[in-house]
Structure 1
């Protein structure tokens, strides 16, 4: 959705100011993965109207720039398609010939991103960038001004994109004449810009006066102030210096005496920024704040909390924050998707990558679609590695389990929140597992290693804080589900106990594709989560079915192979041998207890008798 449309609709309904977050592309692959988790957490805690991804193409050769271009567009596509966040992509003229601009625009278009911030960009840095850092030159075949870029986007894509441009309340570093800056701003808006995001500032009075001048110059598009939190004294001075930003004396009077106490600087700096924001909001010129997070979490949320802009618990539940048991993709090619196999509950990145070429018409009526779909395509779509951790981070998180007891303890550390992920679970556990926790811990301590689970739910209201999802005034249901690893020698006992059982259904498979099951029709999907809502059909968003389980099996065992290889490369041969045993001597099994009314943990009772 376009930013201006979204903000207009929200403000008309609530009258409450809104906010957004800006993030930059980290320099390392692990930093990118951690940023995804941070963006996800910050969204869940605050519900920003959109997030904004910077374009870091200002330093280095064209070959380096192409790599940064790929990182930027990948981050935008993931935020939009996987995390389901309304995303705005920066696009600069620096080091960007038209062909690369076209590639970036096409990537944004295909991912469903409708919002761009068109910038000239900072001067290239260093000799590889083509400049000494203080003079901006256009790349051959590129654009000289942001207004040129805006015109090009409009000519190529019409009204598809909502285009923002930069505003400079205290003047551009290369142009201090305020009249010229207003003239250039007007030129960018006349070229087709829809909104303005300003550079950072700390002087609220200067900002309000600039807004008055902008309106007096005939520029009527929304003005969005850029807000820079204060985290440390050194960073505060450095960032103000970069942008030639005026620091009011009262900021220095408060912060200078405590400059060596980072925690106190953040506390008092937040109070100053909150006061500044309130003055800006009270001016009547703006009703939205754009927070430069610098990829940090606490300071932005502190500002919003003190401004009373964070949503209440009631607003977080049942208001569209969780229309499905996962956050819905904002990629238009996936807008009708309402079903996902439960196997990817904790693997949203690989699932969306695997299904990225799945056409919309393969989601008929919100159902799972044809099992011959490319949804189960090449795992290389997920990237070079399926373990979303660096080698160093993986060893820190998961150590070097050498025995089955060590492995069980590792899984239990995840279940109890001591670690935030496992090789096969990218996201932290939520409180849904609390009612099963004691029994899951017992299974892992006794050599049955749990992978994924959910408890039975019989008619919980859709606004329930733990289990709720979907529209208001509905009811949600779940069948108990457990996925786990079972030693080969216990499979026969499991089969014997489930023989003739029509209530508990299972799939079991090993590394060599020995598949066994008691499903009466294994090709049909078994809904394990569903909701009943007023005035609409039943939603069945989470399923178990054979073909997707086979695809998940390939992914799961490949994850184990990668983990084993990582351990071997670090000379942890005993640990690598343990994982090799799991790969070759354990079955991957899922069981569904279709009696969702039962108060018994029938799956646990079954497994403890093997």
Structure 2
């Protein structure tokens, strides 16, 4: 959605709460990119109106910018604005960047001339490129009409190349007349000067949203360095309060937050500002401290009530997707990537086995184990036994670690009601749980933990459990499942072959055992809402289970591969034993109102 439209909608009520957004820059390393995705993912829960991603100085790493924009839109579900500069950018590269943004569903561009190349010297246009941001704005409008919202930069205290503020306002008016939709300003601390500047803009007929760029203060040295680099005025009160404590970073952050909260409050009270844009520097704490103090967020509440029980993609090719298999529940990155080329069933389920792309794990080129080798060892250590892996899972269930090889995201409050049983399973039998869901029966759709969809509805869930089991225990497990299913099969109230517990079991050699029909899809989450058909967004099905099996065992293979030295041989063999000696199991309890039958299976198994 276009930023100007989002802001207009958010502020239709004159008494509406101010909104906010975040800026991120492109990291220099692949692990830095991964860490940035994790941070963006967490900050999604603060409910920003949008994020923006910078275009690298001198045009370097431009492909990474478009990759991050695509991931933010398609996987993380964050409305994204892409910076685009003229520096070192011939028209062919600009065309590619715009097409990549368009294809990913991004509808917002911040059009900039850009800084001089890193090598130094005065700014000059590249052959076949543009000289000014206004040229870029004109070109985007000619190529894409009104598809993109176009933002422009502004400098309330002047620019190193043009200190005359009035001339800069004339340049800004020219860009607005060519089709700019919103303004994001350079950082500043002089709030009185900023408010006067806003008044000048309005008197010149510049009536598009003015979004102030807020730079949090994390240390005194960084504060002074950035202010000097941007050639902005530091108010006396800032200098006095911060200089006194300049050697204590914690106090600088605290006092800096207080100063910026006061500044933001004055901005909002001025009437010119309804939205705050935070230059995060790829960090989160300082921005969150300011937002908390302004009462714009409450971290102890669920801030984003989902339309569906999983995060919706903003990619136009995926944003109408209303059904998803459970198997990638905690791996949204791999789900989007693995299924983006699969053909779609007429009923909206992804994963047609007739697709040429189906099931080919080699097509998943971005890496299944998303952590680097070093980070993997930092997170999960060097397991020397299956018991060590069980302890990792228990630590994850208790919230002591934030991810596992098979789960990119921290554990949620959803499992609190079954956490003790999950821990017990992992403490014995050599069984390793991967994914689970408790049963719920008619919880209001606005519930802070389980809620999703329109208000005034009710949501339901079947309990399921997904785990890895030693293959020598499979027959005992099936016997126990059959014993639970038997009374239902023989009851006159049910048709023959009714299974209250349904399952898929498969090992790395593709030996599949199941008591379900091959073409069946079992809805495990559904919602009842006023004036609508029943929504059944989360399913278990054979085709996606088979594809997920490939991923599970490939993740184990990649995990074992990080232990190459002789000193780590035991760790390597321990993880490889999962591939050789374990099977993947999914069990669904179709009685969403009855007792928890699944956990009974593990008694004396």
Q: TM-score, normalised on structure 1?
A: 0.93
- Cα deviation per residue 1:296-317 (whole Å; 9 max; x = unaligned)? 1111111112112226977x46
Partner of 1:20: 21
Post-superposition, which runs of at least 4 consecutive aligned residues in structure 1 deviate over 4 A? 311-314, 363-371
State whether structure 2 residue 158 is matched by structure 1 residue 171.
yes
- Structure 1 224/570 Cα, relative in aligned 2: closer, same or farther at 3 Å? farther
1:192 and 2:188 correspond: no
Asked if structure 1 preserves the Cα contact closer than 8 Å seen for 2:339 and 2:350, the reply is no
1:98 aligns with 2:96: no
Q: Which residue of 2 aligns with 1:407?
A: 389
Match for residue 549 of structure 1 among 526, 545, 549: 545
1:241 aligned residue (204, 228, 232):
228
**Cα gap change, 1:356/1:369 in structure 2, threshold over 3 Å: closer, same or farther?**
closer
CA–CA distance in 1 between the matches of 2:118 and 2:566? 38
Corresponding residue number in structure 2 for 1:608: 603
Which of these residues, 507, 511, 514, is aligned with residue 510 of structure 1? 507
Kindly provide the CA deviation profile for residues 437-476 of structure 1, in whole angstroms up to 9, marking residues without a partner as x.
Answer: 1111111111111011111111111111111111111111
Aligned length: 589
SS at match of 1:450: strand
Answer yes or no: is the 8 Å Cα contact 1:116–1:164 preserved in 2. Answer: yes
Alpha-carbon distance in structure 2 between the residues aligned to 1:150 and 1:570: 58
- Does the 8 A contact of 2:523 with 2:538 survive in 1? yes
Distance 2:435 2:237 in 1: 54
Structure 2 unmatched runs, 5+:
486-498
Compared CA separation, residues 71 and 485, structure 1 to 2 (3 A): same
* Counterpart among 321, 324, 328 of residue 337 in structure 1: 321
Q: Is the Cα–Cα contact under 8 Å of residues 112 and 330 in structure 1 kept in the other structure?
A: yes
Q: Is the contact between residue 47 and residue 311 of structure 1 (CA under 8 Å) also seen in structure 2?
A: no
Partner residue of 1:531 out of 522, 527, 532: 527
Tell me by how many angstroms 1:34 deviates: 1.6
Residues 141 and 535 of structure 1: CA distance in aligned 2, closer, same or farther (over 3 Å): same
Name which of 482, 507, 511 aligns with 2:465: 482
| Aligned position for 2:196 | 209
1:497 Cα deviation from its structure 2 partner: 2.4
1:372 and 1:207 mapped to 2: Cα distance? 60
2: distance between equivalents of 1:371 and 1:474?
A: 35
1:131-530 alignment, distance < 5 Å: 132=120, 134-310=121-297, 316=302, 321-357=305-341, 362=344, 364=346, 366-368=348-350, 370-373=352-355, 376=358, 378-446=360-428, 447-499=430-482, 501=485, 502-519=499-516, 521-530=517-526
| Alpha-carbon contact 1:510-1:588 (below 8 Å) kept | yes
Query: What is the CA–CA distance in structure 2 between the aligned matches of 1:350 and 1:547, rounded to whole Å?
Result: 16
Please give the alpha-carbon distance, in whole angstroms, between the structure 1 residues aligned to 2:266 and 2:366.
Answer: 49
Distance 1:398 1:277 in 2: 42
Deviations 1:74-97 (A, max 9, x none): 110111111111111111111111
1:378 CA drift (Å)? 4.0
What's the CA shift for 1:209? Answer: 1.1
Change (3 A) 1:193 1:245: same
The answer to whether the Cα contact below 8 Å between 2:74 and 2:314 also exists between their aligned partners in 1 is: yes
Q: Distance in 2 between matches of 1:596 and 1:107?
A: 44
Q: Distance in 1 between matches of 2:30 and 2:536?
A: 35
Secondary structure of the corresponding residue to residue 435 of structure 2: strand
Structure-2 residue corresponding to 1:29: 30
- The separation in 2 between residues aligned to 1:119 and 1:573, in whole angstroms, is 53
Counterparts of 1:335 and 1:478, CA distance in 2: 23
List per-residue Cα deviations over 1:7-51 (Å, max 9, x = no partner): 10110045221111111111111221121121121221x211111
Is 34-43 or 339-348 further displaced after alignment?
Answer: 34-43
Q: Secondary structure of 1:435's match?
A: helix
Q: Is the 8 A contact 1:199 1:225 kept in 2?
A: yes
Q: In the TM superposition, what whole-angstrom CA distance separates every residue of 1:364-389 from its partner, at most 9, and x where no partner exists?
A: 55555745346735435543421111
Q: Corresponding residue for 1:62?
A: none
Of 575, 584, 590, 1:588 maps to 584
- Check the 8 A contact 1:349/1:382 in 2, yes or no: no
Distance in 2 (alpha carbons) for counterparts of 1:462 and 1:248: 49
Local SS of the residue matching 2:564: helix
**Aligned counterparts of 1:587 and 1:77: Cα–Cα separation in 2:** 35
Are the equivalent residues in 1 in contact too, given 2:468–2:585 (CA < 8 A)?
A: yes
> Alpha carbons of 1:78 and 1:276: their partners in 2 closer, same or farther (altered >3 Å)?
same
Measure the CA separation in 1 of the matches of 2:86 and 2:565.
Answer: 43
In the alignment, the residues of structure 2 paired with residue 552 and residue 367 of structure 1 have an alpha-carbon distance, to the nearest angstrom, of 15
Residue aligned with 1:387, SS? coil
Q: Aligned with 2:592: secondary structure? A: coil
Contact 2:210 2:273 in 1 (8 A): yes
Q: Give the superposed CA RMSD.
A: 1.8
Alpha-carbon deviations, 1:273-316, whole Å to 9, x = none? 111111111111121111111111111111112112226977x4
Give the 3 Å change call, closer, same or farther, for CA 152–381 of structure 1 in structure 2: farther
Secondary structure class of the residue paired with 2:310: coil
Does the residue aligned with 2:255 lie in a helix, a strand or coil? helix
Name the CA shift for 1:136/1:380 in 2 (closer, same or farther; >3 Å): farther
Once the two structures are superposed, residues 403-438 of structure 1 have per-residue CA deviations (whole angstroms, 9 ceiling, x without a partner) of: 121111111111111111111111111011111111
TM-score of the superposition, structure 2-length normalised? 0.94
Would you say 1:71 and 2:55 are equivalent positions? no
Distance in 1, Cα, partners of 2:437 & 2:139:
50
Name the SS for the 1:42 alignment partner: helix
Distance in 2 (alpha carbons) for counterparts of 1:584 and 1:100: 48
Q: Give the secondary structure class of the aligned counterpart of 1:326.
A: coil
Secondary structure of residue in 2 paired with 1:58: helix
- Name the structure 2 match of 1:81: 74
